[in-house]
A and B are shown apart, each in its own frame.
Chain A
Amino acid sequence: MYPSDFRYTKEHEWIKVTGDTGTVGITDYAQHELGDVVFVELPKVGAKFNASQSFGTVESVKAVSEIYSPASGDVVETNTALADAPETINKDPHGAAWMIKIRLTNPKELSNLMDAAAYQAYIVEKEKEASA
């Protein structure tokens, strides 16, 4: 379910690093919690974000959620297809619904993120809390 070559945040974003570039999206857990996504607002290419800084917004019918950058970097590309097809975020959150690509300015930060096994354990805990 959760790709082993991604790293994950506690706010349910993922990042996949290739060379000095990280591709960022939200996790399957996040899309499921949000429900039907109807709107996504992404930054412009060239924008700079620090780790844990909000870079955009995703909205479902029922809720608005900020999206936080897993690492510091400059936006080099955004997934413009999502504007007209935000439901892709529900259908393929770990693939076609990637949101931005950033050039990492401090790759050391990645070690603060969870790997797939740790994230999986983290959301199991979340679900326990929710049903308690």
Chain B
Amino acid sequence: MVNFGGWDMPVEYSGIISEHLAARTAAGLFDVSHMGEIEIRGPRALDLVQTVTCNNAAKLAIGQAQYSGLMTSQGTFVDDLLVHKVSDTHYFLCVNASNQDKDFEHIRSHNKFGAEVENAGARYTQLAIQGPKALGILQRFTNVPLDPIKYYRFTFGKMNGVDCLIARTGYTGEDGFEIYFSPEHSEKMWFDLFEAGKPDGLLPCGLGARNTLRLEAGMCLYGHEIDDTTTTWEANLGWICKLDKGDFLGRDLLARQKERGVERLLVGFEMQERLIARDGCPVFVAGREAGRVTSGSPAPFLKKNIGMAYVPASMSAPGTPIHVAIRNNQAAARIVETPFYKRPK
């Protein structure tokens, strides 16, 4: 068990590799109750969401979710998050555990819209069930037809007799669901899903597999790829930054940086030798130290050693050779396209 944002969480249950492979080939069950929830309500709830985030929440239909960034006035990340539109006057945000209180204060400090902002983390348990068998396992617990819920859509319904927000979202690169419900049902829900999924090869997954799965899927982790010094453009997250949606925090700086171009860019790389790049290892491009590995790990499904790092934008093209300092070695690596892993459709 490790302490993670104040939560005692297992790094692994049966082993990171078996858990990772279960999520890719069958199903993985993740207790992600540590994730924070912030709810914004009121006639001008959308205005507040639009002010503090960089994606265009006005485009959301009711029952739709979007990946977004909670921005500083400098156009850097306070956090990354999922914005769910529950109704025209109610938005449900899922944020990182360790950022929840900071996020809440940040949103509140920009609330010129009379919206009600609730730090609601204590009211929710979140479980993620991910992988090709996730839908089939979950469907046994609900009358809500799950297949019609499209990717990044959600609905409300009973799951195992418990009122849930049921979202087709995840952090693994697989199909799957994240469900949010009242914490008193946590244990029963966990064990019932676990027992039901066992014959299908479902395994409980810890923080270790959560990290390797998201890394293979090329997804950012706050505090690693993104933080309050990185911008959307640098992090290759331009697709969640909508300058034309109207004003929002950091928009001017982001617009200027877009025009000027970025100096550094987040890329994925693959080791060309057996050494494993780890978080913090220095990265060399064209013989010069360019930065540090933001995340580095063996990729259990791809059976490669992969990582992400910031490199000079002028030398960020896929195929570019780089070196990673690992102990006393300058280990060869190559910039590759991300995501490293894409699930078969």
Quick one: which of A31-78 are within 8 Å of B by CB?
A: 35-36, 38-39, 57, 59-62, 64
Taking a contact as CB atoms under 8 Å apart, the answer to whether A38 and B276 are in contact is yes
State how many residues of chain A have any CB contact under 8 Å with chain B: 10
Question: 0/1 per residue, B245-288, Cβ < 8 Å to A?
Answer: 00000000000000000000000000000111010000000000
Closest to B329 in A: A41
Taking a contact as CB atoms under 8 Å apart, the answer to whether A36 and B327 are in contact is no
Taking a contact as CB atoms under 8 Å apart, the answer to whether A61 and B278 are in contact is no
Taking a contact as CB atoms under 8 Å apart, the answer to whether B274 and A61 are in contact is no
B327 neighbours in A (Cβ, 8 Å): 57
For residue B80, give the distance in angstroms from its CB to the closest CB of chain A.
Answer: 23
Complex partner residue of A36 from B17, B274, B276, B278, CB under 8 angstroms: B17
Taking a contact as CB atoms under 8 Å apart, the answer to whether B12 and A35 are in contact is yes
For the complex, give the distance between the alpha carbons of A68 and B154 in Å.
53
For residue A84, give the distance in angstroms from its CB to the closest CB of chain B.
Answer: 10
A60 neighbours in B (Cβ, 8 Å): 16
For the complex, give the distance between the alpha carbons of A1 and B176 in Å.
41
A62-B274 in contact given A35-B208, A38-B298 (Cβ < 8 Å): no
Complex partner residue of B16 from A57, A59, A61, CB under 8 angstroms: A61
For the complex, give the distance between the alpha carbons of A36 and B206 in Å.
14
Closest to B20 in A: A61
Taking a contact as CB atoms under 8 Å apart, the answer to whether B208 and A39 are in contact is no
Quick one: which of A14-41 are within 8 Å of B by CB?
A: 35-36, 38-39
Taking a contact as CB atoms under 8 Å apart, the answer to whether B17 and A64 are in contact is no
For the complex, give the distance between the alpha carbons of A98 and B62 in Å.
60
Closest to B303 in A: A38
B297 neighbours in A (Cβ, 8 Å): 61-62
For residue A93, give the distance in angstroms from its CB to the closest CB of chain B.
Answer: 15
For residue B211, give the distance in angstroms from its CB to the closest CB of chain A.
Answer: 8
For the complex, give the distance between the alpha carbons of A10 and B17 in Å.
28
Q: Does B11 contact A (CB under 8 A)?
A: yes
For the complex, give the distance between the alpha carbons of A50 and B274 in Å.
27
For the complex, give the distance between the alpha carbons of A71 and B274 in Å.
29
For residue A32, give the distance in angstroms from its CB to the closest CB of chain B.
Answer: 10
Taking a contact as CB atoms under 8 Å apart, the answer to whether B11 and A36 are in contact is no
For the complex, give the distance between the alpha carbons of A35 and B14 in Å.
9
For residue B20, give the distance in angstroms from its CB to the closest CB of chain A.
Answer: 8
Interface centre among A38, A57, A60, A61 (most CB of B within 10 A): A61
A64 neighbours in B (Cβ, 8 Å): 276, 278
For the complex, give the distance between the alpha carbons of A62 and B298 in Å.
8
For the complex, give the distance between the alpha carbons of A95 and B298 in Å.
26
Q: Does B63 contact A (CB under 8 A)?
A: no
Taking a contact as CB atoms under 8 Å apart, the answer to whether B276 and A35 are in contact is no
Question: 0/1 per residue, B199-224, Cβ < 8 Å to A?
Answer: 00000000010001000000000000
A62-B276 in contact given A35-B208, A57-B327 (Cβ < 8 Å): no
For the complex, give the distance between the alpha carbons of A116 and B275 in Å.
34
For residue A117, give the distance in angstroms from its CB to the closest CB of chain B.
Answer: 28
For the complex, give the distance between the alpha carbons of A79 and B9 in Å.
36
5 residue pairs, one from A and one from B, having the closest CB atoms: A61-B16, A36-B17, A38-B298, A62-B208, A36-B15
A interface with B by C-beta (< 8 Å): 35-36, 38-39, 57, 59-62, 64
B interface with A by C-beta (< 8 Å): 11-12, 15-18, 208, 212, 274-276, 278, 297-298, 300, 327
Extra A-B contacts (17), CB below 8 Å, given A57-B327, A61-B16: A35-B11, A35-B12, A35-B208, A36-B16, A38-B17, A38-B276, A38-B298, A39-B274, A39-B276, A59-B276, A59-B298, A61-B17, A61-B208, A61-B212, A61-B300, A62-B11, A64-B276
In the complex, 24 of the A-B residue pairs with CB atoms within 8 angstroms, ordered by the A residue number, are: A35-B11, A35-B12, A35-B15, A35-B16, A35-B208, A36-B15, A36-B16, A38-B17, A38-B298, A39-B274, A39-B298, A57-B327, A59-B276, A59-B298, A60-B16, A61-B16, A61-B208, A61-B297, A61-B298, A61-B300, A62-B11, A62-B12, A62-B16, A62-B208
